[in-house]
Amino acid sequence: MAEMFGKYVAILGDPGCRAGWQENFPRLAELLWEEYRPSHVFVPGDMAAYGTVPQNEEILQYCQKHPWEWVVAMGDHDRPVYVFERYWGPPHKVTDLGRWRFIGVDTSSWLLTAEEALWLREQIKEDSIIYTHMPPGIDGWKFHSLSADCTARFFAVLDDFHDQVRACFFGHIHSYDRKEYRGIPLIVTGAGGAEALGLGEDGYEGTRPFQAMTFDTTTGEIHLLEDTR
């Protein structure tokens, strides 16, 4: 369904899946609002630590503070699905903003199932942006990512649609990183409020600033916003 949208939208993962998010997430989100005024914030999962009603109520209250829309693809911490759906709608979703199609893929079971991959294939069109909780298991991300089978399944989709997919965003890894596959940027944006850890060779190392990504709907440019205050 086509919707009204602004110059910027944001992508921010894992805002609420660790105790203490109330310190970090609103701070980062306020910075995001002040600097970009995004009309939509796409979340590749983990709004809550244990997917409970009170946890969802609490973070929803913050998300409703500004006139922006939060569009969430379900993460592993968001289970069970019947609670998630009550607050955030279906576990996977498609949002058309002008020429851009944002496709939120459900990898909350730690898998990209054959069914979900087929669903994804059916949604992709020109200028699609994919966001999903689990990153593919490539060097540097293997410690916290899809299995080899599911990774192969994900890249098989990108192999067939590399001319249509403009970028992929992931959560689960509570950090920021950027890689590339067949010219498509693959971006981990999981330091969105729960915790913000540095990356070593293939695991966490130290800490880093909380961060979010923004996407310019007029140009397709992707920016990194870091809370370095």
Residues binding Fe ion: number (CB under 5 A): 3
Q: Which two tokens stand for residue 3?
A: 């919707």
| Residue 167 touching Fe ion (CB under 5 A) | no
Q: C-alpha dihedral over 137, 142, 147, 153, to 10 degrees?
A: 0
Tell me if 78 contacts Fe ion by CB under 5 A.
no
Closest approach, Cβ 171 to Fe ion, in A, equals 6
Binding of residue 227 to Fe ion (CB under 5 A):
no
Binding status of residue 17 toward Fe ion by CB under 5 A: yes
Long-range contacts of 206-210 (CB under 8 A, 24+ apart): 208/175, 208/176, 210/24, 210/25, 210/27, 210/28
Look up tokens 């067949």; give the residue: 182
| CB of residue 67 to Fe ion, shortest distance in Å | 26
Among residues 9 and 196, whose Cβ is nearest to Fe ion?
Answer: 196
- In 3-state terms the chain splits into helix, strand, coil percentages (rounded to 5) of 30, 30, 40
14 binds Fe ion (CB under 5 A): yes
Cα(158)–Cα(115) distance, rounded to whole angstroms?
A: 16
Does position 46 interact with Fe ion (CB under 5 A)? The reply is yes
Q: What's the alpha-carbon Rg for the chain, to the nearest Å?
A: 16
Closer Cβ to Fe ion, 14 or 227, answer by number: 14
Q: Which stretch binds Fe ion (CB under 5 A): 38-46, 49-57, 160-168, 217-225?
A: 38-46
Binding site for Fe ion (CB under 5 A): 14, 17, 46
